[in-house]
Amino acid sequence: MIITISGTPGAGKGTVGRLLAKKLKYKFYSMGDIRRRYAQEHGMTIEKLNKLSEKDPTSDKLVDEYQTQIGKKEDNIVIDSRLGFYFIPKSFKIFLEADETIRVQRIMNDQRGSEKYNSMKEAIEGLRERQASDKKRYQKLYRLNPYDVTAIDYDLLLDTSSNTPEELVEMILKIVKAKVAR
């Protein structure tokens, strides 16, 4: 089984994905980590890479092709990817969302690489800019909005605002097991 986890920034895709993969003894992939590494290797922040990608989709296409190949060659994996549902359509598709304030607090507490903010206001602006850039890039490349849950046939939509990652993984496992048992 392949499980793709999409969602809004700070909703817990990576955290939940890693825990879920560990619990299932599956391999875990994070497309966000790959993009962050690409940005770092090219001497820029993820924000600058996203802005550049609005005009030059090279980095998006590299990551998109990579996950497409993973989906064709591997099984028993969990992929944290904004567009995993699109590139691996035969996956179990999960979308994670959370209250914006909670997402911003999570991002500020998990200062990954270049994503550093000095204030809540700055972090909210950064989060909103990031989502706008994602929408712009993916609309241009694939004619889709990765945050429009009504346009995508997700198997599971979860609000992560008030649950721990461990609780979320248990919820997901129950639903996945019920689906597999059918």
Looking up residue 152, the CATH number of its domain turns out to be 3.40.50.300
pLDDT higher than 70, residue 92 = yes
Q: Are strands 156-159 and 27-30 parallel, antiparallel or unpaired?
A: unpaired
Residue 181 lies in a domain: no
Residue 87 lies in a domain: yes
Could you list the residue range(s) of the whole structural domain that residue 13 is in?
2-175
Residues 6 or more apart whose Cβ sits within 8 Å of residue 26: 3, 20, 76, 77, 78
In angstroms, what CA-CA distances link 180 with 1, 32, 54, 173, 175? 9, 28, 39, 10, 9
Residue 182 lies in a domain: no
Average pLDDT over residues 150-174: 93
Name the residue with higher pLDDT: 46 or 144.
144
Residue 140 lies in a domain: yes
Residue 136 lies in a domain: yes
Residue 151 lies in a domain: yes
Residue 139 lies in a domain: yes
Count of domains in the chain? 1
pTM: 0.88
Largest CA-CA distance found in the chain, in angstroms, rounded = 49
Report how far apart the first and last C-alpha atoms of the chain are (Å, whole number). 14
